[in-house]
Amino acid sequence: MTADGGAAGFPLPSQIADVPGAEGWRSMYPYFTRFQPDDDERFWFYNSMHFPEPMPAFDTITAEVPYSAIGANTARVFVFPTTLGIEHRIVNGRVYITAIPVTDPDEIARRAAVFGERASYYYENWDALYEGWKARMRDLIAEIEGVTVPELPEFEDAAVVTQSRGVAQNHYVRENFHRCIDLFSKMWHHHTEMLMLGYGAYVVFFQFCKQAFPEITDQTVARMVAGIDVIMYRPDDELRKLARLAVDAGVDDLFTEGCAPDAVLAALAGRGEGGKRWLAALDAARDPWFNVSTGDGFYHHHRSWADDLTVPFAALPRYVAQVRDGTLAARPTEALRAERDRIAAEYRGLLGTDDEKAAFDQMLGLCRRVFPFVEDHKFYCEHWFTSQFFGKIRQFGALLARFGVLAEAEDVFQLHHTEIDQALADVMLAWAAGGPPLGAAHFRPLIAERKRMLAAMREWSPPPALGPVPEALNDPAVHMLWGVTQQTIESWLRPDSGEIRGCGASSGVVEGVARVLTDVNQIGEVRAGEILVCPVTAPSWAPVFGKIKAAVSDIGGSMSHAAIVAREYGMPAVVGTGDATKRIRTGQLVRVDGDRGTVRVIG
């Protein structure tokens, strides 16, 4: 019992103590991310799906910008009737969020009138709008790729004089840095432009299915909707092609379990025509298909395949072995499509009336219309664009390091983007004046301290939620995106039954040895036949699913990536467990029950 005599609940934001050794964490984050006294009266949950680690200062931009775009979309652009936007707060490095609902019926009605007109314009013109969206997104990607980071040489380029440009390149240090931030913001506006409506269509179909078939699982609803030719499968398909080529070109002996990418690439260069062919194919596949982050585009250290070949090279030996023994099958797209259509047709057939069947057809049709966007936008936004974005910021870091402000380029991510502005101004002034920048003394100790605090905060177990539990958490969108339901909240409230509970995302029961990954960069450690236990998975993890027996994640719902890929591979998966990575250790024998959504340590 708590002091006030209430039932067990979550701590209030004001009750969270600073992590020992990281008492200065507030200095890392902007004032508008801090919990306010009134925030104790609201329910917050830890967005560990997107932000499973403490936030480096720069990476808070992946909260600030998306929430700025999402809220604008729901509250102001499309005027969703029952919700404004999402507020976020940071405590001990972790991002907590809450939505601002609209509850006054008159206000809902007033908003609904606007929403109806605006939303139906998008739904009715969806396919054409999506084509336009892709063109705009490719333009944005081309723009971010084209941003240059001035080199600030001793003498300015003669063209500044001969073409009377008049503007020296230290000016462009700031302009181009701002350009990166501005493009990132635009990308996120486009990201949400169609996504909220896309989810809306899914939620409607989901609710209909749950009403007509109360026992239907979330994953079965998802299976009726899921696309077959999803762009996120493409990077994995490219790897399979490369595996086939390795065998064709007679260089397959280089791809062995645990092989180091650099060593393999060096060896290929010395393997004549075959090696050359393979390296050329690799280059062709890299752009754009290796622009997949090993995370979800929310942390600078989640590098892309293009940045770090460890992940693709971890998958290649197995694919190569499968090519050799003739078992590397292409994705059975026809069979998958037929099965998807069979499931939908059978549920349709079980509906009682022709009216219900007609409504089912409308909703499923709408879902399938919007789903190519829902499934593919991530590749354009979180992966392709964002990989380029972090790459550019890293280049600005290299500039700051070259001028001695930072010890190394990577340290740029320990600064908030407004602080980077100051550091760049310092360098611009120093280059102009001819003296040294003053930033080293200012930033280097601060960065060292921040790294220390991040390490300390990494050890903290954030409560899954804060504040008073709402009477009913009946927002299906929250369930779909975050796997958070009344039930998960209850299980968060009474942990430790020996059984780890989550959302059964892909059916089947299997036992095996656990491999707990807390950091995506450990992905190369996964061995065949293990059960993957991780905070959250991203699309670029797909190749590892070919090796494992089952997947367990802390965060995720039936539409989360781990769920989709696990179903694709037909392996059991339990997602949204809250804390499986903390309760399971690598090497333990675990039993994963994807039907019931439970995981148990059995040895």
Selected binder of other proteins within 100, 432, 509, 528 (CB under 8 A): 509
Nearer to other proteins, 18 or 356 (CB): 356
Selected binder of other proteins within 346, 408, 459, 490 (CB under 8 A): 346
Task: Phi first, then psi: give them for residue 556, nearest 5 degrees.
Answer: 140, 150
Nearer to other proteins, 204 or 228 (CB): 204
Selected binder of other proteins within 11, 43, 145, 220 (CB under 8 A): 220
What is the residue whose two structure tokens read 């690439």?
Answer: 265
Selected binder of other proteins within 81, 295, 464, 578 (CB under 8 A): 81
The Cα-based distances of 112 to 80, 109, 211, 260 in angstroms read: 7, 5, 23, 57
Size of the site for other proteins (CB under 8 A): 53
Nearer to other proteins, 99 or 173 (CB): 99
Nearer to other proteins, 210 or 276 (CB): 210
**Per-residue contact flags (x/-) with other proteins for residues 181 to 200, judged by CB under 8 A:** ----------------x--x
Q: How far is the CB of 479 from other proteins (least distance, A)?
A: 14
Selected binder of other proteins within 213, 271, 301, 493 (CB under 8 A): 213
What is d(CA 592, CA 508) in angstroms, rounded to the nearest whole number? 8
Distance of CA 114 to the CA centre of its chain: 31
Which range, of 56-64, 77-85, 276-284, 488-496, touches other proteins by CB under 8 A? 77-85
Nearer to other proteins, 203 or 265 (CB): 203
The burial class, CB within 10 Å (0-12 / 13-18 / 19+), for 593 is: buried
Spatial CA neighbour of 461 closest among 553, 535, 525, 560: 535
For residue 343, give every residue at least 6 positions away whose Cβ sits within 8 Å of its Cβ, in sequence order, or none. Answer: 220, 223, 224
Nearer to other proteins, 77 or 112 (CB): 112
**By CB under 8 A, is residue 343 in contact with other proteins?**
yes
**Per-residue contact flags (x/-) with other proteins for residues 455 to 474, judged by CB under 8 A:** -------------------x
**By CB under 8 A, is residue 497 in contact with other proteins?**
no
Selected binder of other proteins within 23, 124, 175, 490 (CB under 8 A): 124
Selected binder of other proteins within 82, 310, 422, 588 (CB under 8 A): 82
**By CB under 8 A, is residue 358 in contact with other proteins?**
yes
What is d(CA 443, CA 446) in angstroms, rounded to the nearest whole number? 5
Spatial CA neighbour of 377 closest among 173, 593, 199, 123: 199
**For 293-332, where are the alpha helices, taking DSSP H only?**
310-324
**By CB under 8 A, is residue 359 in contact with other proteins?**
yes
**By CB under 8 A, is residue 43 in contact with other proteins?**
no
**By CB under 8 A, is residue 445 in contact with other proteins?**
no
Selected binder of other proteins within 15, 27, 36, 120 (CB under 8 A): 120
Q: Are 400 and 202 in contact (CB under 8 A)?
A: no
Region 401-420 residues binding other proteins, contact defined as CB under 8 A = none
For residues 272-306, one letter each, b for 16 or more C-beta atoms within 10 angstroms of the residue's C-beta and e for the rest, the string is: eebbebbbebbeebbebbbbbbbbbbbbbebbbbb
**By CB under 8 A, is residue 212 in contact with other proteins?**
yes
Spatial CA neighbour of 469 closest among 445, 438, 491: 491
**By CB under 8 A, is residue 215 in contact with other proteins?**
yes
Q: Are 257 and 321 in contact (CB under 8 A)?
A: no
What is d(CA 204, CA 364) in angstroms, rounded to the nearest whole number? 9
Q: Are 539 and 376 in contact (CB under 8 A)?
A: no
Region 250-269 residues binding other proteins, contact defined as CB under 8 A = none
Selected binder of other proteins within 325, 353, 496, 603 (CB under 8 A): 353
What is d(CA 491, CA 52) in angstroms, rounded to the nearest whole number? 19
**By CB under 8 A, is residue 207 in contact with other proteins?**
yes
What is d(CA 136, CA 142) in angstroms, rounded to the nearest whole number? 10
Q: How far is the CB of 598 from other proteins (least distance, A)?
A: 10
Q: How far is the CB of 501 from other proteins (least distance, A)?
A: 14
In single-letter form, the type of residue at position 103 comes to T
Selected binder of other proteins within 91, 366, 532, 555 (CB under 8 A): 366
For helices 126-146 and 169-212, give the axis angle rounded to 10 degrees: 150
Nearer to other proteins, 62 or 507 (CB): 507
For residue 439, give every residue at least 6 positions away whose Cβ sits within 8 Å of its Cβ, in sequence order, or none. Answer: 400, 403, 404, 405, 406, 422, 423, 426, 427
Q: How far is the CB of 359 from other proteins (least distance, A)?
A: 4
Selected binder of other proteins within 225, 315, 363, 531 (CB under 8 A): 363
Q: How far is the CB of 355 from other proteins (least distance, A)?
A: 5
Q: Which residues pair with 86 in a beta bridge?
A: 99
Which range, of 207-215, 263-271, 322-330, 440-448, touches other proteins by CB under 8 A? 207-215
In single-letter form, the type of residue at position 58 comes to F
Nearer to other proteins, 363 or 590 (CB): 363
DSSP state of 515: E
Q: How far is the CB of 341 from other proteins (least distance, A)?
A: 12
Q: How far is the CB of 219 from other proteins (least distance, A)?
A: 8
For residues 449-482, one letter each, b for 16 or more C-beta atoms within 10 angstroms of the residue's C-beta and e for the rest, the string is: ebeebbebbeebebbbbbbebeeebebbbebbbb
Positive or negative, the CA dihedral 487, 490, 494, 495 is positive
Which range, of 76-84, 88-96, 182-190, 441-449, touches other proteins by CB under 8 A? 76-84
**For 403-507, where are the alpha helices, taking DSSP H only?**
417-433, 439-458, 476-482, 486-493
What is d(CA 36, CA 219) in angstroms, rounded to the nearest whole number? 38
Q: How far is the CB of 477 from other proteins (least distance, A)?
A: 10
**By CB under 8 A, is residue 214 in contact with other proteins?**
yes
Asked if residue 13 has a cis previous peptide bond (ω within 30° of 0), the answer is: no
**Per-residue contact flags (x/-) with other proteins for residues 86 to 115, judged by CB under 8 A:** ---------------x-x-x--xx--x--x
* Footprint on this chain of other proteins (rule: CB under 8 A): 80-82, 101, 103, 105, 108-109, 112, 115-116, 119-120, 123-124, 197, 200-201, 203-204, 207-208, 211-217, 220, 223, 343, 346-347, 350-353, 355-356, 358-360, 362-363, 365-366, 474-475, 507, 509, 595-596
